[in-house]
Amino acid sequence: MADEISVLIVDDSALMRNLIGKMVEATPGLVIADKAMNGRFALDKIPRANPDVIVLDLEMPEMNGIEFLRERKKQAIEIPVIILSSIAAKGAAITMEALSLGASDFIQKPSGSISEDIHTVKDNLVGLLLSYGGQYRKTHGKKIISPNEAKAINPAAAESMSKSTISIASILELNVVHTAVPAKPPTPLRKPATTEVVAIGISTGGPDALRVVFSRLDADLKVPIVVVQHMPAGFTNEFAKSLDRICPLDVKEAEEGDPLIPGRILVAQGNKHLEVGRQGATVVAHLSDAPLVSGHRPSADVLFASVALTFQNHALGVIMTGMGRDGAAQLGTIYKEGGLTLGQDEASAVVYGMPRVAFEMGHVQEQVPLEKMARRICDIAKTNR
């Protein structure tokens, strides 16, 4: 069907191309645009195949994934790219280089470059393909298949996928424009005061979105920022370093006991909750191995709850692109304590999941496009109340 999200699969292994292709074919709403054995063949096929999203291996002969991304950038190709590579497990720095060159997201192959158990990442992969491919179609004026149409194409596959970790219907639903009226917002316990901290919760689509926001922050912003970006353990240190290179403020991976310093950004470690708390006259970061919250560790809900408790009406909470509902509930606690809250708007979010739930719960005071988020954060943080 013309409205399905088309996928270009780029991998030097014929077995991997076949296994990934079967995942695509078994997913309502997705269709194979073409397959390529390296980056050079992929570039040749893009004009004819016209895919909505690309799955890219990094280790390939003739033109590898990094070289493909560099050439893609030169040619101003906007089609989103999902890295699916074994090298992601070995080289966080290479993965971050891929993201800095324009890749949208990444998944680790579970057991090396030829992973016959690739089915173990199927839910995650097809979720990203539907999310990024759907966003690309929306921004380019293409129609997107509805959940009901997807089910009609392949009822058996749709039934199977509805029982999996990620419901295909729910992801396709993210590509539908939402018009729900938000619930009544909480009644603040006190009026907003001068902002002393900014807390950001973000997930799918986050690496690109944070690059946009952090590169545009004012160099003289004198407020600490704490961030939960859903990312596997072992990658957040390199991710923070990559953000530090483009941000006028200092960015680092949070460590136990790190003080919240004005003008510094702390990024939560993968697989560690990040909380803030007072230690004498200083507010410091605490890391935790506590159970998953809202399906995640780190969890934006955990961060927002601790920020609300510690800073009350001196906090600014920001919820951005992401699948699911992490952060939506506790953003309301920041609101209730008298803090201010922002949510990324639907048009600019790769996945309008987390910000949508927060908005519908009445926990978002203002919806902001990605392009204006940095300016809005700085304006609020610099306003004396």
Active site residues: 203, 230, 326
Beta strands in the chain (DSSP E): 5-10, 30-36, 53-56, 81-85, 105-108, 197-202, 225-229, 250-253, 264-267, 273-279, 282-288, 315-319, 340-344, 366-368
**Cβ partners under 8 Å of residue 82, min gap 6:** 53, 54, 55, 56, 103, 104, 105, 106, 107, 125, 128, 129, 132
Strand order in the sheet with 264-267: 250-253, 264-267, 225-229, 197-202, 315-319, 340-344, 366-368
What does the CA dihedral 268, 92, 133, 46 come to, rounded to 10 degrees? 160
Interhelix angle 300-311/328-336, nearest 10 degrees: 10
How many angstroms separate the CA atoms of 148 and 145, rounded? 8
Sign of the dihedral through C-alpha 179, 180, 181, 183: negative
Q: What is the largest CA-CA distance in the chain?
A: 63
CA distance linking residue 250 with residue 352, whole number of Å: 29
Rounded distance between C-alpha atoms, residue 312 and residue 193, angstroms: 9
**Closest by CA position to 101, among listed 125, 68, 131:** 68
**Region at 62 (left for phi over 0; alpha for psi -120 to 50; beta for the rest):** left
Beta bridge partners of 285: 276
Smallest Cα–Cα separation from 197: which of 290, 289, 276? Answer: 276
Nearest to 371 by CA among 142, 171, 139: 139
CB neighbours of residue 1 within 10 Å: 11
